[in-house]
Amino acid sequence: MHEVGATYKVVKFCSVQKFFFSALLLLCIVAPANSNNAPEDTIREPFNAGDLIIGKAIDNFEWDIAKVGDSYIALPLPIILIYDGRFYFFLSSRFEHGKASYKGFGIGKTGSQRNRIIRVLDDGVTPDPNAGRLWNFSISKAAFSGLVSALLLCLVFVWVGKQYTKMGPGGTPKGFCALVEIIIIFVLKSTAFSSISHKYVHRFLPYLLSLFFFIFFSNILSLVPFFPGGVNITGNISVTFVLAMFTFFTTQFLANKGYWKHIFNTPGVPVFLKFPIPLMPIIELVGVFIKPFVLMIRLFANMTAGFMSILGFVCLIFVLGEFSTFAGFLVSPLVVFFLIFMNFLKILVAFLQAYVFTLFSAMFFGMAVPDDHH
């Protein structure tokens, strides 16, 4: 019961945060009057900022947009499950925001199962101890937001590409295309062309550009506080894992002989480091897997930290509001000031992290295709 109540609370404050940017002034005028009129007879759960922040930073199976009074405004997302050889497809609204179970599936509440779809017993709450492997292919909030960002990316760049086709090779771009070209040239010159040997660089350019703009678009989209933004896409470890895997497999598949020689028979290293104990090959081989891992963790940690710090500032209002309503309103202008500052910082970080991911990918590609004479 307590757990359910806490979830309620979280959702309630989430909804306030959703409207925060647009409705701050309105809140300032209306809220004090409301607190005078409505007697404090309901039992208030203590506000848990940590739960709220983690809840927003992780993935979810529905898209909670706002909660007005007792009714939710949420976008139901498709749940796709494979369990026991059967295929299940339904909308997340069947779960009634985590309260109900559907066809024996529910959302876990505790421990490692929290916020995951699990097999539940007939009471709809208790996890099934004998449940088999559950394959969850649901289009979650992060997946949906990621698809939106991918779609947006395609629309924008296919349009830009069309403009380029229209003006023919060697033409001069205008307006938005010119801006895009500046970014493209900046990214390529400072990453690909400075780390990959010019003989092989051209095969990596489309991937590096897609990577950069995908991360950049997702980062920027996660800064937009309303639908379809506001989702921690690149701060989700699954997403960074996928991107790192793309870089990893591209590195391995397009690597040439020099790369493998460098791993198994590192040139310029004394023989006793390779034989009888193959110390260097082991270190190099571990390095192959550490590289994408580092990429994954760096992007995830940076984006999540930024996302959480913004939410932390928002929560500051409500944490202080717990002590006194007045303190909450008093601190809010300061918090808004910090939020504006943080948002600017996040725009910088959005570009920087996309750039860093691209740069390191380019450097790994550069190592994968060393020059023949090297």
Name the residues that contact another protein, by CB under 8 A.
54, 57-59, 80, 112, 114-116, 135-140, 142-143, 146-147, 150, 153-154, 157-158, 160-162, 164-165, 167-173, 180-181, 184-185, 205-207, 209-210, 213-214, 236-239, 241-243, 245-246, 300, 304
Cα end-to-end span (Å), the chain: 67
Nearest to 124 by CA among 93, 100, 97: 100
Which CB, 180 or 320, lies closer to another protein? 180
| Shortest Å distance, C-beta 151 to another protein | 9
| Shortest Å distance, C-beta 206 to another protein | 4
Which CB, 24 or 139, lies closer to another protein? 139
| Shortest Å distance, C-beta 302 to another protein | 14
Secondary structure class of 40 (helix, strand, coil)? coil
Which CB, 190 or 210, lies closer to another protein? 210
Phi/psi for 355 (5° steps) reads -65, -45
Alpha helices in 168-223 (DSSP H): 176-187, 193-195, 205-223
Which CB, 236 or 332, lies closer to another protein? 236
Cβ–Cβ < 8 Å for 75, 62: yes
Cβ–Cβ < 8 Å for 117, 59: no
| Shortest Å distance, C-beta 346 to another protein | 19
CA distance 219 to 230: 10
CA distance 369 to 196: 7
Which CB, 93 or 115, lies closer to another protein? 115
Nearest to 240 by CA among 220, 213, 211: 211
Peptide bond into 267 cis (omega under 30): no
Which CB, 58 or 356, lies closer to another protein? 58
| Shortest Å distance, C-beta 208 to another protein | 9
